[in-house]
Amino acid sequence: MPSQLFSTSECSRGTKSPVLLLAALVILLIIFIPVFIFDNPLFLSINGLHSSFTDPVWLALTTLGDGLLLGIILGAFLLVNPRVTVMGLLVMILSSVVVHIVKAAYPSYRPAELLQSVHVVGPLLRSGSFPSGHAAASMSAALAIAYFCSSRAIAAIVMAIAVLIGLSRIFVGAHFPADVLGGIICAFGVFLIFRLTAWPAIEEHVAPRPALSRRRFRVAFCFEVLAVLFALFVHAPYSAELPSFAVLVALVVLVFLATGYRKLRVERA
Whole-number pLDDT of residue 269: 63
Rounding to the nearest 10 degrees, give the CA dihedral for residues 41, 42, 48, 54. Answer: -170
Rounding to the nearest 10 degrees, give the CA dihedral for residues 5, 62, 195, 82. Answer: -40
Average pLDDT, the chain: 93
The model's pTM:
0.93
Which residue positions in the chain have pLDDT lower than 70? 1-16, 269
Whole-number pLDDT of residue 1: 46
Q: Which CATH number fits domain 3-216: 3.30.2170, 1.10.3470, 1.10.730, 1.20.144?
A: 1.20.144
Residue-wise pLDDT for 240-263, tens only, equals 999 999 999 999 999 999 999 999
Residue-wise pLDDT for 61-83, tens only, equals 999 999 999 999 999 999 999 99
Query: Would you kindly state where each structural domain of the chain is located, as residue ranges?
Result: 3-216
CA distances from 142 to 70, 117, 158 (A): 10, 33, 6
